[in-house]
Structure 1
Amino acid sequence: MRDIDLKTLRLFVAVCDHRNMARAAEEMHIEPSAISKRIAQLENDLAVPLLVRTRRGVQPTPAGIVLLEHARTALFTMERIANDVAGFKRGLVGSVTVCASASAIAETLLDDIASFLRQPEHENVKVSVDEQISLELVRRVRDGETSIGVCWDNADLQGLTHRPYRHDHLALAVHPGHSLARHTSLSFEQTLDYEHVGLPPSTAVHTMLRRAAAALGRSVSYRMIVSTLDATFRVVAANLGISVVPAEVGRTYARLFDVKIVALTDAWAERRFAVCFKDYEALQPAAQRLVEHLTALGPVHANNGLANVAGKTKVDGPSKFAHNRVIDRR
């Protein structure tokens, strides 16, 4: 099969968007017959019909729908490549993709990346942030699908280079009317007589709590499993269960919902995050600079210690919990 050229893909996408060969030709400044010839050649190369004429206009066939999806992705990627490379003429360092766990995103990662982007020398750097569970995050870094990962340092980081990032502390979120709300601190074992709200079994925190309970000869009783920290706090605020959450995140959500945050005294409740990547020297300059910026924050423990769990801390508003963000601009 001949290589598919980008011009033909652009014309095919235009026809599918307009559902009309003539309007697509007008937009693309080309004769309809030229579009028809190119698409006919593409159908011949792929040995499958891609378009069909109906009373409603030109419609993609099932094979055409598949090609349309891939064509949009390919054209977007090529446009991004062109923009990123051309950007070096303006002093642009590049684009960086970061995969991060929900906890890292919900706490300080987005603020830390924002402080990196606010530096004048990084004015045109683009950073994409994608939320993933630790297992998938590590796989993507290993496979080269993403430049940098940020997750707990107890994830399986074998084969990757990793550096310490920030610390946080786990705490218990409870409804103010719950019997555990009278405590200022307690052990995880004291929570196991009550029903919990948890994240899916595929998440690192679920695995850690299961192991901690097993070490005590107990198990965690889950009343609900939810997919996000936001949902967790909503369920706790409804007094339908208690939940182990990051203390820093909990303090902010406590301002939004009717929830109290109680410190956990277990040693494992203090967590360490790591920035991971395959090979520092293979990272593009923008990614190297971001790694250096994040890891320089590693010793910072402000507002994450056990002593501060019950205190009042100035925290940015709920917008810091938005997921899957693209910060150029999860």
Structure 2
Amino acid sequence: MRDLDLTTLRMFVSVCESRNIARAAELHNIVASAISKRLLLLEDAAGHRLIERHRRGVAPTAAGEILLEHARAMLASADRVARDMADYGAGVRGQVRVLATVSSIAEFLPDDIADFLQQPAHRDIRIDIEEAQSRDLVRGLREGIAPLGVCWDAADLEGFQTRPYRHDHLAIIAHPKHPIARLKRCAFEQTLDFDHVGLPASTAVHTMLGRAAAIIGKPINYRAVVSTFDASLRCVRANLGIAVVPSEVALPVAGSFGIKVSMLTDKWAQRQFALCFQDEKRLSPAAKLLVGHLEALSKGRSQGGKVISKKA
């Protein structure tokens, strides 16, 4: 393909997402015929038909779906370039983008980054955190969307360099009237006779629980599937089922939510997190400083010498 025009790609993405050329034209404040012409030029450059027209609108073809995924990534990168250059002009001299799983963000990463930024030597560094599921995080690192990722070390990190980070312990949360609520500790097998509240199938936790259930020889009966730990807590409070969440998330709020927490005794319930990147030599000076700081925190001591509790 010849050099791609970002403006045309933005219009292509708008058409695919709205499924309507006229609606996309309104969004970009131009006439529909102008967008149609750009789409024809884009199809000519791609060498494939990208849009199919139907009575109720339009939809991307199989080739269009492929281009759509790459177009979104290219536009996101272009937007980040614009923001980064604006930040540089405003005085920011170092910037690190971090892709992180929901567990790491919910438990300890924001506080650890705040500790890093509070040190005088790091006052000109900016850290941007973006939440991502493990699969998307790995893909984002491979595509160069971010230089650094924070995730459970059971994710597919083949080809990446890693450093140890913090750890957590998975637990079962249950309504006080639920049979599991009587147990302070339990094995995952003991929970499989009850309805569960789960996370999406694309998450590492869902995959791990499915694997554990398969080894035991019992299915997991999901009554609800939610995208956040907060939603899990609310579903459990409503007694829709039990859920597997990090004890570091559940214990501080168990009283206010009126739920009970039972620690899982399975070996896999104790998770190790990792800092991951493609090549440490290619990290920016700011990213190297952040990696060193986070790795040091996992050992209980910051680079500045301040002792940090391992209870993240």
- C-alpha spacing 1:291/1:201, structure 2 compared with 1 (3 Å): same
Q: In the alignment, is the contact (CA less than 8 A) between 2:299 and 2:310 conserved in 1?
A: no
Cross-structure match for 1:242: 242
What amino acid does structure 1 have at the position aligned with 2:213?
A
Cα distance in 1, alignment partners of residues 216 and 238 from structure 2? 29
Cross-structure match for 2:306: none
- Provide the secondary structure at the position in 2 that maps to 1:248: helix
- Provide the secondary structure at the position in 2 that maps to 1:114: helix
After superposition, residues 257-268 of structure 1 pair within 5 angstroms as 257-268=257-268
What amino acid does structure 1 have at the position aligned with 2:230?
D
TM-aligned CA deviation for residue 121 of structure 1? 1.1
Identity rate, percent: 48
- C-alpha spacing 1:105/1:51, structure 2 compared with 1 (3 Å): closer
Q: Does 1:183 align with 2:171?
A: no
Q: In the alignment, is the contact (CA less than 8 A) between 2:298 and 2:310 conserved in 1?
A: no
1:78 aligns with one of 74, 78, 82:
82
What amino acid does structure 1 have at the position aligned with 2:310?
A
Cross-structure match for 2:61: none
Gaps of 5+ in 2: 8-23, 40-71, 301-308
Cα distance in 2, alignment partners of residues 216 and 76 from structure 1? 46
- C-alpha spacing 1:71/1:290, structure 2 compared with 1 (3 Å): closer
Deviation sequence 1:279-317 (CA, Å, 0-9, x none) = 11111111111111111122347336xxxxxxxxxxxxx
After superposition, residues 61-76 of structure 1 pair within 5 angstroms as 61-62=31-32, 63=34
- Provide the secondary structure at the position in 2 that maps to 1:230: helix
Cross-structure match for 1:35: none
Cα distance in 1, alignment partners of residues 276 and 210 from structure 2? 25
Deviation sequence 1:28-87 (CA, Å, 0-9, x none) = xxxxxxxxxxxxxxxxxxxxxx999xxxxx9423456999x9999857733532532773
TM-aligned CA deviation for residue 102 of structure 1? 0.7
Q: Does 1:96 align with 2:96?
A: yes
Deviation sequence 1:237-276 (CA, Å, 0-9, x none) = 1011000110000112314312111111111110000000
Q: CA RMSD in A?
A: 3.1
Cross-structure match for 1:293: 293
Q: In the alignment, is the contact (CA less than 8 A) between 2:77 and 2:145 conserved in 1?
A: no
Q: In the alignment, is the contact (CA less than 8 A) between 2:6 and 2:75 conserved in 1?
A: no
Cα distance in 1, alignment partners of residues 77 and 136 from structure 2? 22
- C-alpha spacing 1:77/1:181, structure 2 compared with 1 (3 Å): same
Gaps of 5+ in 1: 7-49, 53-57, 305-330
- Provide the secondary structure at the position in 1 that maps to 2:140: helix
Larger Rg: 1
Cross-structure match for 2:112: 112
Q: Does 1:303 align with 2:311?
A: yes
- C-alpha spacing 1:64/1:150, structure 2 compared with 1 (3 Å): same
Cα distance in 2, alignment partners of residues 253 and 281 from structure 1? 41
Q: In the alignment, is the contact (CA less than 8 A) between 2:165 and 2:294 conserved in 1?
A: yes
What amino acid does structure 1 have at the position aligned with 2:149?
G
Q: In the alignment, is the contact (CA less than 8 A) between 1:93 and 1:286 conserved in 2?
A: no
Q: In the alignment, is the contact (CA less than 8 A) between 2:100 and 2:150 conserved in 1?
A: yes
- C-alpha spacing 1:72/1:128, structure 2 compared with 1 (3 Å): closer
Q: In the alignment, is the contact (CA less than 8 A) between 2:162 and 2:277 conserved in 1?
A: yes
Task: With a CA cutoff of 8 Å and minimum separation of 6, indicate the structure with the bigger relative contact order.
Answer: 1
Q: Does 1:60 align with 2:30?
A: yes
- C-alpha spacing 1:266/1:220, structure 2 compared with 1 (3 Å): same
Cross-structure match for 1:282: 282
Cross-structure match for 2:157: 157
User: What TM-score results when the alignment is normalised by the length of structure 2?
Assistant: 0.73
Cross-structure match for 2:141: 141
- C-alpha spacing 1:51/1:119, structure 2 compared with 1 (3 Å): same
